[in-house]
Structure 1
Amino acid sequence: MDWKNEADSTAVGEGAAKQDSARGAVPKTVFTAEEARASGMTEYQLRHRWLVVPTPGIRLWNLGDPPWREVVEAVSSLTGDHYLSHSTAARLWGLWLPHHLEEDWPIHVTGRKGESGARRRPGIQGHKAELDDEDVVEFDGLRLTTPERTWLDHATQIKDPVWLVAAGDALLQRSNGPARPAGVLGENPLCTLAEVDAVLVRRRRTKGINAARQARALIREGVDSPAETLLRLIIVDAGLPEPVVNQEVWLSPTLKRRPDLHYPQWRIAIQYDGRGHGESAQLNSDIKRDSDFTDHGWESVKAADDVYRSDGARQFLERLRRAIHRQTRVASTVTVV
């Protein structure tokens, strides 16, 4: 069942006007039948004409697309030994996802294999798996798989290995980096590399383990955005050395900068200037940043949104190779002198 299309938009105006005392009993848009009864809602009211039953045990007011987070909370609160998982947990943890999973329905739930099993209901994608205590957590009132276990399970959903690396990088963002999106769980970093390795050892026979192991070799700590991940992998896939990720560089005893990526051996800073960098304040900051590098003998190589297209990637890599050639010659000349 497609919950997003379940509600009839033509009923919004009329339905909002007819929710009478039943609406007042449980002010949430999505709630469990158990919550409704505890709030004093009668069985008759639970059969209100403007209530939808997307899956047994859950009610929602027929006012349009149901709020995803409220649906997730309701599913999590249903009785049973089950945990939000896969892309549902990934969205809650704020992992970087390909577009087709950013609004993924239905809700993914994993139950312990051999015990509760998978929760099989309309609108819920049930899974069965071995779940150790280290694999699950209760956070902000939600029962879900841990960030590292979520990433491993996610390997069965992400077909593009680049995005599996990006999701892994999202686990290890630096604590003093950009603010996390509103509404997601946890703080950066969500886990450690040691915890990622531990879950790979515990679940060494699980589905998706080979893809996860290959991605693990490429995930890095301190990445600020999926754009940085994709740019780094474009460089590596082209046969060039892997650049350093998001480390501060001292340009002088009193001046330091943090390029997105850089080659210390060639004094090359690689910057991703995508959407948002055209704003006045950001543009001025970028100009000052690039000037600082140039004034101290570095070369800046920029990548824009077109780097994700074959022609844009080719042009970027040509600029980067030329910069490496120039900076190699400069370094050689300095050494000779």
Structure 2
Amino acid sequence: MTARDDLPADLHDRAFTFVAARQAGVSVSRLRAHDLERWSRGIYGPAGRDVTLRERAEVHLAATADAWVSHRTAAALQDLFLPPWVDDHAQIHLSKPTHLPRARRKGVAGHRVRIRPGELHHVDGLLMTTPARTWLDLAVELGEEFRIALGDQLIRRPRSGLEKGREKPLATTSELRELLDAHVWMKGVGLARAALEHMRVGADSVPESLLRQAIAAAGLPEPELQISLVPLDPYSPSGDMGYPRIKLVIQYEGAHHDDEAQRLRDARRDRAFRDAGWTVLLVRLEDLRDGFRAVIREIRGHLAAAAA
């Protein structure tokens, strides 16, 4: 039995194109060996190994001229929110300009779109749609509340020094309006325009965005977002949302709040609000699963008591 030749180091244990393999001196017969799989026309990868979404996107992009990563693939690679029914990455989404034929190969969902300068950028070496253009491309798939939630993620407040990638918003409302005005005939642009009117700066997570929308849908006054206990003090404790007029602050406790250090910070924050005469309403995952019904009843009660 003849031993297999080792693959070149830059092709070992990753996906690659036929062209890259031949340029590296790999024979056609070596590509037929059992340690490799033919994923699609002109694309090979290691057999039996889970390959990351980025690896798949990279190799499909390398095999497809004049294309860029788009839609749900671009969203996932940029850590943008996707609801469960869109968070399926069996296919890599690639787009091309309208004057070129769409990408057609196994493992690829091809699109033909009109693109403007500034709507593409490179992320870790991969050409893909910007977060704003990705939001527009996905407008038809997301559903109203999730179009708004993803939009809130784009325009959220910067948190310089506290979290990587939060030095500035991913887009501003004026940039999104300009984007929509430039694609007035695009499918989904009306849905995106309607969502933009309900987006707010300050919803710091998807659950917070969904909670804010649920409050508005219940006919309650829209809460203020990112409330500072001591305005203008950069070190003041802050709340996710609430009603300063009646001293009600609402905090969404996500999974990261289970960390011991975070729990201590949360306790100090809540104690500061309570010592200042505020009511602190804590909202958890169970409330999200219940459509925030109990939370809305409690908010309604506080507002009614204040009015009386």
Common fold: TM-score over 0.5:
yes
Report matched runs for 1:10-159 at 5 Å.
Answer: 20-22=5-7, 24=9, 26-114=11-99, 116-158=100-142
1:135–1:237 distance in 2 versus 1, CA, 3 Å: same
CA contact (8 A) 1:52 1:59 kept: yes
Give the paired residue count.
Answer: 305
CA contact (8 A) 2:68 2:128 kept: yes
CA contact (8 A) 2:98 2:112 kept: yes
Q: Distance in 2 between matches of 1:279 and 1:28?
A: 36
CA contact (8 A) 1:110 1:117 kept: no
SS of aligned partner of 1:59: strand
Aligned position for 2:242 = 262
Q: Which of 230, 234, 244 lines up with 2:214 in the alignment?
A: 234
Q: Distance in 2 between matches of 1:197 and 1:49?
A: 52
CA contact (8 A) 2:250 2:282 kept: yes
SS of aligned partner of 1:250: coil
SS of aligned partner of 1:110: strand
Report matched runs for 1:237-316 at 5 Å.
Answer: 237-250=217-230, 256-310=236-290, 313-316=292-295
The residue type equivalent to 1:153 in the other structure is D
Give the Å deviation of 1:56.
Answer: 1.5
Q: Distance in 2 between matches of 1:303 and 1:193?
A: 28
1:280–1:41 distance in 2 versus 1, CA, 3 Å: same
Normalising by structure 1, report the TM-score. Answer: 0.82
1:285–1:327 distance in 2 versus 1, CA, 3 Å: farther
1:324–1:75 distance in 2 versus 1, CA, 3 Å: same
Moved more, 60-69 or 231-240: 60-69
Q: Which of 117, 138, 148 lines up with 1:165 in the alignment?
A: 148
CA deviation map 1:131-181 (0-9, x unaligned):
1223222332111111111100011222x311111111121233217635x
Give the Å deviation of 1:32.
Answer: 1.8
The residue type equivalent to 1:22 in the other structure is L
Q: Distance in 2 between matches of 1:233 and 1:267?
A: 21
Give the Å deviation of 1:66.
Answer: 2.1
Q: Distance in 2 between matches of 1:48 and 1:134?
A: 43
1:318–1:85 distance in 2 versus 1, CA, 3 Å: same
Q: Distance in 2 between matches of 1:253 and 1:124?
A: 51
1:62–1:236 distance in 2 versus 1, CA, 3 Å: same
CA contact (8 A) 1:25 1:40 kept: no
The residue type equivalent to 1:86 in the other structure is H
Matched, 1:222 2:205: no
Normalising by structure 2, report the TM-score. Answer: 0.89
Q: Distance in 2 between matches of 1:100 and 1:20?
A: 43
Q: Distance in 2 between matches of 1:110 and 1:192?
A: 24
CA contact (8 A) 1:25 1:36 kept: no
1:229–1:202 distance in 2 versus 1, CA, 3 Å: same
Aligned position for 1:8 = none
